[in-house]
């Protein structure tokens, strides 16, 4: 009886697979993966954004799952020894992304940053990009030094998202010195004026 049940279920499974191949969709209605799609995954992995651009009908989750099924997605490791954890904590706080990939080649980028989040580790902070407006650049350098965000400085200076939205950029952008000077004062700074000598 048991063998008959196994044979019956296997027969149902075979029929379902043939039906999916014939219709080109899974039982849930999802489109079956094709060889050209698999090749796109192989060529572009681990750049999921590039794969999603090439396969806009596939979700990120579906692409990650497929990369695992065809054997190109790197395996997340759970073999975290004390020595390995120490190395990870040290590198995560100071190393470049490339150095992290080289130190942990069996992990994909998502696994690396997930591990960092699990350990509540922070990455090195990047200085704010230059704007070309000297007074604003000096303010942003001080914000970076004090670990103050643009959200914070908007609130301090009552700037109505001027700093967060980077409203000094673009065709309509301009340096709003009222906001900039007020923010400098809120951080305890002063603005001085120097005149060149008159000949």
What b/e string do you get for 80-91 counting C-beta neighbours within 10 Å, with b at 16 or more? eeeeeeeebeeb
Angstrom distance (rounded) from CA 184 to CA 130: 17
pLDDT of 110 reads 72
Sign, CA torsion 112/114/118/124? positive
- The domains of the chain are located at 2-69, 82-118, 134-186
Cα–Cα distance for residue pair 84/97, rounded to 1 Å: 17
At residue 184, the pLDDT reads: 92
Per the CB < 8 A criterion, the answer to whether 162 and 186 are in contact is: no
CA gap 67, 72 in Å, rounded: 5
pLDDT at 29: 57
Distance (Å) of CA 30 to CA 5, 23, 164, 199: 29, 11, 41, 80
d(C-alpha 52, C-alpha 33), whole Å: 14
Other Cβ atoms less than 10 A from the Cβ of 42: the count is 13
* CA 1 to the chain's CA centroid: 54
Residues 154-194: tens digit of each pLDDT: 888 899 899 998 888 876 667 899 999 999 988 888 888 77
Task: Going residue by residue through the chain, which has 199 residues, state the pLDDT in tens, using 9 for 90 and above.
Answer: 454 554 545 555 556 556 555 655 555 556 778 889 999 988 888 787 888 889 888 888 788 888 878 877 765 555 678 888 888 888 888 887 788 888 887 777 777 888 888 888 887 777 888 998 999 999 999 888 887 888 888 888 899 899 998 888 876 667 899 999 999 988 888 888 777 765 5
- pLDDT value, residue 1: 44
pTM beyond 0.85: no
């Amino acid at each position: 009886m048991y063998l008959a049940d196994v044979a019956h279920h296997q027969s149902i499974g075979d029929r379902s697979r043939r039906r999916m191949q014939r219709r080109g969709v899974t039982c849930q209605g999802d489109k079956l993966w094709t060889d050209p799609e698999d090749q796109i995954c192989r060529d572009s992995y681990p750049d999921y954004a590039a794969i999603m651009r090439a396969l806009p009908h596939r979700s990120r989750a579906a692409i990650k799952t497929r990369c695992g099924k065809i054997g190109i997605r790197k395996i997340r490791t759970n073999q975290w020894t004390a020595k390995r954890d120490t190395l990870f904590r040290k590198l995560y706080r100071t190393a470049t992304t490339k150095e992290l990939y080289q130190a942990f080649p069996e992990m994909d980028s998502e696994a690396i940053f997930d591990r960092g989040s699990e350990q509540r580790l922070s990455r090195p902070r990047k200085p704010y990009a230059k704007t070309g407006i000297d007074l604003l650049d000096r303010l942003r350098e001080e914000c970076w030094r004090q670990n103050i965000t643009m959200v914070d400085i908007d609130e301090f200076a009552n700037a109505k998202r001027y700093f967060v939205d980077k409203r000094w950029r673009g065709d309509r952008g301009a340096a709003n010195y009222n906001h900039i000077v007020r923010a400098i004062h809120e951080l305890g700074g002063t603005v001085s004026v120097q005149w060149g000598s008159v000949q």
